[in-house]
Amino acid sequence: MRAILFAAALLGLGAAGFVRAVDDAHLSVEHIAGDGWTAHDIAIDWDLPDRASATIGKLRLNAIAQELHDVRIVCPRLELSVRAIACERARVAADLPGLGAQTFTARLVYGRGDGSLNWRVEADRQRASVEALVAAAKQLRLPVPAVDVTGSVILSGAAAGAAGKVHSATFDVEVAEITLSNAAGSIATDKLNARVQGTVRKSRGDWQFDIDVSSAQGQVYVQPIFLDFGAHAMRASAAGKLRAARELTLERFSFDHSQVAQGNGRAGFDFANEQPLRSLTLQLAGIEFPGAYESYLQPLLLDTNFKSMQTAGKLAGAATIEDGAPRSLDLTLEDLSLDDGARNFAIESLTGAVHWRSDAAAGDDVASALSWRGGAIFGLAMGATELHFTSEGRQFRLLQPARIPLLDGALALESFRVRNAGLPSVAFMVDATLEPIDVKRVCQAFGWPEFGGRVGGTLSKLRMRDGVVTLGSTLRAQVFDGDLSLSDLQLQQPFGKWPRLYSNVAFDNLDLELMTGAFSFGRITGKLSGRIDGLRLFNWTPVAFDARLYTPPDDRSRHRISQRAVQNVGSIGGGGAGVTAALSSGFLRFFDDFNYERLGISCRLENDVCAMDGIAPAPNGGYYLVKGKGLPRIDVIGSSHRVDWPRLLERVIAATKGQGPVVQ
Amino acid sequence: MLRHASKLIACCLALSACVTINVYFPAAAAEKAADKIIDGIVGGAAPAEPTKREDDDKQQGAARADSGPQRVLLAAAASVLDFIVPPALAQGQANLNVDTPQIRALTQSMEARFAQMKKYFDSGAIGLARDGLVQVRDQNLVPLPERNVVRKLIAEDNADRSNLYKEMAAGNGHPEWEADIRTTFAERWAARAASSGWYYQDASGAWTKK
């Protein structure tokens, strides 16, 4: 509605016509309306020449949902001109929705020509509760998130606008003891104290802002990030503009999370887009561990196997995003150490520079180099190494051969490529040689019974799919003067809490004398061959296999077995007491060892039960474990066909600990 | 000739019927096994309400087969085959073995973790979901610094739970039982939750507390 300048005309008449005739005037106006506002029941008291006060019975501002009642305006000095009626320092008292009775100083300008009502209000350490502000914000039809919140606010600043709309504001807000939470609990604060300073200004439909926030007290949780500003203070600032409530441009931003991370850059958001972060230029400096890991990385890694790492060191870097897609990442690592605490994965003093590009632009140097001083993988100690590589898009390529010391051997990487990283179709292409490693140390690492020898071989056709690593080539080991091969190696959830390994193992012509010596099992001479099919380890412990070990048919070596070995073999076959009794009585006790023709055992392990057999069936349903030869002839015959595996292991371990078998 | 062929087809049908019957999921045994494992994890808490489906084992030959005439046919085929191959069928009805090294390792790990999780079950912050896993029910009941601790405990526990269902199925020679085992555990955990005053999801996914 077009403004009807009834009151203004009267006032103007008053100013022109009643010069000095009266000292004061009273006016009652039923209704005035202007651009975005209407007022009813207005009473004006005018102390001539320039002091005036007005009471507005009902004031409706289009921007405020609820109408205001009994707004009192006292003006110590009214300025009248042809174009406007203005008051520089008016005291305005109003019962604001949500905030209750409020008094503030304002500059008011009423346009006589167009009925516009321009204002500027100031607040000086105005106190309010957050609950009241939220209610007020709802009245102002501002988008208020659905949160439960308590706390208090001290507001200083100034705002200017027309009718019910704000055009610009300068503010310095101290919030205290802010505790809020949304219904899902994904956003929350606890006793947060912060200071927010800044300016906002509207220009041609855009909101320009420059805001600075600092906090040194309270906690914030924005799932999955938890920050305790009491422990590490935060200061952040940003300047930019918001266009059409959906395009946000941060022309500059910076943050300083004390002893955790510092960064600055530019960013652009488009909230209408599925991926709102459209562009980013970020410089990161002084990222310190473990603070940065605990604050920012750990929460993002909760679903991975890197969720409980001990970290130390420093990181700096830069990242860019263009058109909503990551373009580049440059990281400089300085003495970064990671340790999962279980020795499954640990790396010590990781140093170097990593450069990743979404695609290699011409002339862009994207070679990366990383070195580390030591570490561990699957419990195997790893030595110092330097890696030179490129990473581009979803590809990774080793630029030059690298040698990673592993225990007393090494993994020599000729080439290493990764394709489709991060996709289900991820593929590794590895060409590597495992330089012989002391088997004893591998056994130590996995907590197995220790024995000597060396393991080595070529690693090729290493693949990973759906978290399962498979090795297409065969690993070979030289143990006890014989050959051992591991084929069809498959590793599931390698870095998980429950790694599972599958393999088929074959061995050929192991020297039993070396082997029994290593296990202090009692001396046996001769050779041993066999296979372990379907070997399954769960958490590095055997849970299933089908094993057959036997004297190779073409073995021409000397076959002798000692008294103690006979007892131990007997105890494995379940005939411990009988064997011991037989050996310790009669003339057999005068012999240290005996000749044998052949020996062997088979054990199919499933559900903790070993289905056991020997080299041939023996009378009375037993089986031959050792078939004797010559005189005195001794046969060891097993009787149990189903042996409890944990008890069997105990017996074998007891036997190899140098004591005799447990006789019950 | 045609008659021979039809006999052959009938035999094949009977044999395939036999296979179907043979792999019936032993629901009652699984419930008992789940209760035993849950007892172990919760650590001697009050036993859950007695299972109402004790006669399930007897019924399952027919109960899980399709209804109508086919069901009669299958039952008949089963009884004939019972006569011919009793040991195989007996094996099909065997109890679920829950005493493998894998299951022991997993339940021990869950038992150790339960000591840390119990207070969150008690407060209602977390609950037992209908998919046999643990979920956050009301994060606002957890102090801010502990929220990620809870999320981590849940991630670890759910990894153990999924591994447990997988290992129980595989350990009994029937990897295809994994989904049934998971469902059974979800039901038994819900029963345990009901008797312990914890939240659990009902069939529609709504959180409930007894």
Residues A501 and A640 in one domain: yes
By C-alpha distance, the chain A residue nearest B156 is: A303
- Indicate if the alpha-carbon torsion angle A77, A79, A80, A85 is positive or negative: negative
Which tokens is A20 given? 């000095």
More confident residue, B29 or A463: B29
- Answer whether A150 touches B (CB < 8 Å): no
Does residue A167 surpass a pLDDT of 60?
Answer: yes
Q: What distance separates the 2 farthest-apart alpha carbons in chain A?
A: 151
Identify the three-state secondary structure at position A13: helix
**How many other β-carbons are positioned within 10 Å of the β-carbon of residue B197?**
11
More confident residue, A341 or A525: A525
Residues B33 and B122 in one domain: yes
CA distances to A64, B39, B119, B133, B195 from B49, rounded to whole Å, are 59, 12, 22, 20, 7
Residues A503 and A413 in one domain: no
- Separation of alpha carbons B96 and A413, rounded Å: 46
Q: A438-463 b/e with 16+ CB inside 10 Å = b?
A: bbbbbeebeeeeebebbbebbbbebe
Q: Which of A377-391, A618-632, B74-88, B183-197 is the least confident region? A: B74-88
Is B56 within a domain? no
Residues B71 and B134 in one domain: no
pLDDT, average across residues A624-643:
86
**With contact defined as beta carbons under 8 Å apart, do B164 and B101 qualify?**
no
**CB-based contacts of A461-470 (< 8 A; 24+ apart in sequence):** A461/A430, A462/A428, A462/A429, A462/A430, A462/A432, A463/A427, A463/A428, A464/A426, A464/A427, A464/A428, A465/A424, A465/A425, A465/A426, A465/A427, A466/A424, A467/A492, A467/A493, A467/A494, A467/A496, A468/A492, A469/A494
Among A527, A522, A429, smallest CA distance to A480 is for A527
Does residue A372 surpass a pLDDT of 70?
Answer: yes
Residues B80 and B128 in one domain: no
Residues A645 and A507 in one domain: yes
Provide the percentage of residues in chain A whose pLDDT is more than 90: 41
**With contact defined as beta carbons under 8 Å apart, do A124 and A115 qualify?**
no
| CB contact (8 A) between residue B159 and residue A496 | yes
Is A148 within a domain? no
pLDDT of residue A430: 86
Residues B77 and B107 in one domain: no
- Separation of alpha carbons A513 and A507, rounded Å: 16
**With contact defined as beta carbons under 8 Å apart, do B82 and B150 qualify?**
no
- Separation of alpha carbons A92 and A94, rounded Å: 6
Q: Give the number of C-alpha atoms closer than 13 A to the C-alpha of residue A571, restricted to the C-beta side.
A: 27
More confident residue, A344 or B91: A344
Is A515 within a domain? yes
pLDDT of residue A10: 43
Residues A580 and A530 in one domain: yes
pLDDT of residue A595: 92
Please give the single-letter amino acid code of residue A542: P
Q: What is the DSSP string of chain B?
A: -HHHHHHHHHHHHHHHHHHHHHT---HHHHHHHHHHHHHHHHTSPPPPPPPS-TTHHHHHHHHTS-SSHHHHHHHHHHHHHHHH-HHHHHHHTPPPP--SHHHHHHHHHHHHHHHHHHHHHHHTSEEE-TTSSEEES-GGGS-GGGHHHHHHHHHHHHHHHHHHHHHHHHHTT-GGGHHHHHHHHHHHHHHHHHHHT-EEE-TTS-EEE-
| CB contact (8 A) between residue A190 and residue B144 | yes
- Separation of alpha carbons A187 and A224, rounded Å: 9
Does residue A578 surpass a pLDDT of 60?
Answer: no
**How many other β-carbons are positioned within 10 Å of the β-carbon of residue A281?**
16
Average pLDDT value over all residues in chain A:
85
Point out the domain boundary residue: A383, A417, A443: A383
pLDDT of residue B56: 40
pLDDT tens-digit series, residues A202-217: 888 888 999 999 999 9
| CB contact (8 A) between residue B138 and residue A223 | no
Residues B69 and B14 in one domain: yes
pLDDT, average across residues A163-181:
89
Domain that holds residue A453: 394-479
Under DSSP, the state recorded for A661 is P
Is A640 within a domain? yes
- Answer whether A543 touches B (CB < 8 Å): yes
Count structural domains, chain B. Answer: 2
Which tokens is A171 given? 């503010």
Tell me the pLDDT band of A111, cut-offs 50, 70 and 90.
confident
- Highest mean pLDDT pick, A154-168, A400-414, A465-479: A400-414
pLDDT tens-digit series, residues A467-495: 788 888 888 888 888 999 999 999 988 77
Which tokens is A268 given? 């652009």
Residues A379 and A404 in one domain: no
Residues A640 and A528 in one domain: yes
- Separation of alpha carbons A403 and B164, rounded Å: 39
Among A542, A465, A446, smallest CA distance to A501 is for A542
Residues B127 and B161 in one domain: yes
**With contact defined as beta carbons under 8 Å apart, do A255 and A262 qualify?**
yes
| CB contact (8 A) between residue B139 and residue A184 | yes
| CB contact (8 A) between residue B100 and residue A608 | yes
Residues A426 and A373 in one domain: no
Residues B38 and B139 in one domain: yes
Residues A377 and A464 in one domain: no
Residues B157 and B201 in one domain: yes
Residues A512 and A464 in one domain: no
Is A594 within a domain? yes
Residues B81 and B141 in one domain: no
Report angle CA A51, A57, A61 to the nearest 5 degrees: 95
- Answer whether A181 touches B (CB < 8 Å): yes
Is B196 within a domain? yes
Helix ranges (H only) for A436-562 are: 439-446, 512-518
By C-alpha distance, the chain B residue nearest A228 is: B145
Does the interface ipTM go beyond 0.85? no
pLDDT of residue A266: 97
How is the beta sheet containing B207-209 ordered, strand by strand? Answer: B134-136, B126-128, B199-201, B207-209
Tell me the pLDDT band of A14, cut-offs 50, 70 and 90.
very low
Peptide bond into A290 cis (omega under 30): yes
| CB contact (8 A) between residue B140 and residue A188 | yes
Residues A443 and A513 in one domain: no
Residues A456 and A500 in one domain: no
List residues of chain B with CB under 8 Å from any CB of chain A.
97, 99-102, 105-106, 109, 136, 138-145, 147-148, 151-152, 155-156, 159-160, 163, 167, 171
- Indicate if the alpha-carbon torsion angle A5, A7, A8, A13 is positive or negative: positive
- Residue A497 Cα, gap to closest chain B Cα (Å): 9
pLDDT of residue A521: 80
Under DSSP, the state recorded for A524 is B
Is B54 within a domain? no
pLDDT of residue A619: 82
- Answer whether A219 touches B (CB < 8 Å): yes
pLDDT of residue A61: 80
Residues B74 and B122 in one domain: no
Task: Give the H/E segment covering residue A183.
Answer: none
Domain that holds residue B136: 26-49+97-209
- Indicate if the alpha-carbon torsion angle A88, A93, A98, A100 is positive or negative: positive
Q: Is B185 exposed, middle or buried (0-12, 13-18, 19+ CB in 10 A)?
A: buried
- Highest mean pLDDT pick, A44-48, A283-287, B130-134: B130-134
Is B70 within a domain? yes
With a cut of 70, which residues of chain B have pLDDT below it? 1-23, 44-95
| CB contact (8 A) between residue B100 and residue A188 | no
Q: What is the DSSP string of A445-465?
A: HHTPPP---EEEEEEESEEEE
Q: Which of A62-76, A426-440, B7-21 is the least confident region? A: B7-21
For an interface test with B, the pick among A186, A295, A497 (most B C-beta atoms closer than 10 Å) comes out as A497
CA distances to A23, B14, B21, B86 from B74, rounded to whole Å, are 111, 8, 8, 16
- Answer whether A125 touches B (CB < 8 Å): no
Q: Which of A190, A220, A303 sits opposite B155 (nearest CB)?
A: A303
Is A173 within a domain? no
A-chain CB neighbours of B97 within 8 Å are: 607
Is B13 within a domain? yes
Is B57 within a domain? no
**How many other β-carbons are positioned within 10 Å of the β-carbon of residue A204?**
5
More confident residue, A567 or A417: A417
pLDDT of residue A114: 81
Count structural domains, chain A. Answer: 3
Residues B72 and B151 in one domain: no
Q: Which of B143, B147, B159 sits opposite A497 (nearest CB)?
A: B159
Among A464, A470, A467, A393, smallest CA distance to A427 is for A464
Residues A438 and A546 in one domain: no
Backbone angles phi, psi at B48, to 5 degrees: -70, 165
Is A113 within a domain? no
Residues B80 and B44 in one domain: no
| CB contact (8 A) between residue A607 and residue B106 | no
Is A406 within a domain? yes
pTM for the whole thing? 0.74
